């Protein structure tokens, strides 16, 4: 049975259009925090019908037979399949209590978030997002011009500034004062290691 947290989880959203690097950034952040000994959980929104189970498996057969809820567990992991959507708040509450919960997608949810912009067209979405506090820009965008046109209080980062983005997120969700957070120089070295660890993902 899922354990529901008694306090608000440490949630931060990574948003943006398709092919803007959301998954790559999530993987780099998770790898970085893992290197630093910080627990990270992830939640992914899929706008399409996804298939997580493999055709022909026992759990797939259970679902095909009509089961509304199926769980599978082993010595190392557990998975739960259910035939209904789950609200983001419910998913976040199931995460480990001390984890940094990175959410990929759910752009209209109310949690603090950054937006990844690859093209000028992407920037048009900025005004539609609630609780936006950072924008991550691809190199082809003019950072100085975007800075002038972006609301005050919103931080701008380059796509590859993983350590700075990680530090911003920890500060924004109130996690920065916890043990394990590294100084800037160490964080940059850790970020470089995280990039190598996630190369090709």
Domain boundaries, the chain: 10-50+85-197
| pLDDT at position 6 over 90 | no
pLDDT tens digit string along 149-181?
888 889 999 999 999 999 999 999 999 656 545
The percentage of the chain sitting over the pLDDT mark of 70, rounded to a whole number, equals 87
Mean pLDDT rounded to a whole number for the chain: 87
The correct answer on CATH 3.30.565.10 for the domain covering 10-50+85-197 is: no
Contact 35, 190 (CB under 8 A): yes
**What is the spatial distance between Cα 139 and Cα 182, in angstroms, rounded to a whole number?**
27
Q: Please give the angle made by the CA atoms of 44, 184 and 160, to the nearest 5 degrees.
A: 45
Residue 7, pLDDT score? 61
Phi-psi sector, 37: left (phi>0), alpha (psi -120 to 50), beta: left
The C-alpha angle 8, 10, 15, rounded to 5 degrees, equals 120
Q: What local confidence, expressed as pLDDT, does residue 149 receive?
A: 87
Q: What is the pLDDT of residue 158?
A: 97
**What is the per-residue pLDDT across 10-60, written as a single tens digit (0 to 9) for each?**
999 999 999 999 999 999 999 999 999 999 999 998 876 767 788 899 999
pTM (2 d.p.): 0.84
């Amino acid at each position: 049975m899922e354990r529901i947290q008694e306090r608000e989880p440490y949630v931060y959203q990574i948003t943006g259009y398709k092919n803007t690097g959301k998954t790559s950034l999530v993987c780099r952040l998770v790898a970085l925090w893992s290197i630093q000994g910080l627990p990270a959980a992830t939640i992914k929104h899929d706008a399409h019908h996804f298939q997580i189970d493999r055709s022909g498996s026992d759990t797939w057969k259970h679902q095909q037979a009509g089961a509304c809820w199926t769980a599978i567990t082993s010595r190392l992991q557990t998975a739960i399949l259910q035939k209904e959507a789950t609200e983001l708040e419910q998913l976040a509450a199931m995460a480990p209590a001390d984890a940094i919960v990175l959410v990929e997608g759910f752009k209209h949810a109310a949690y603090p978030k950054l937006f990844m912009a690859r093209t000028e067209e992407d920037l048009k979405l900025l005004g539609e997002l609630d609780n936006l506090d950072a924008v991550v820009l691809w190199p082809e965008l003019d950072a100085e011009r975007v800075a002038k046109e972006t609301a005050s209080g919103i931080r701008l980062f380059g796509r590859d500034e993983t350590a700075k983005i990680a530090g911003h997120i920890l500060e924004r969700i109130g996690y920065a004062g916890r043990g394990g957070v590294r100084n800037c120089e160490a964080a940059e070295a850790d970020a470089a290691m995280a990039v190598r660890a996630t190369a090709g993902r």
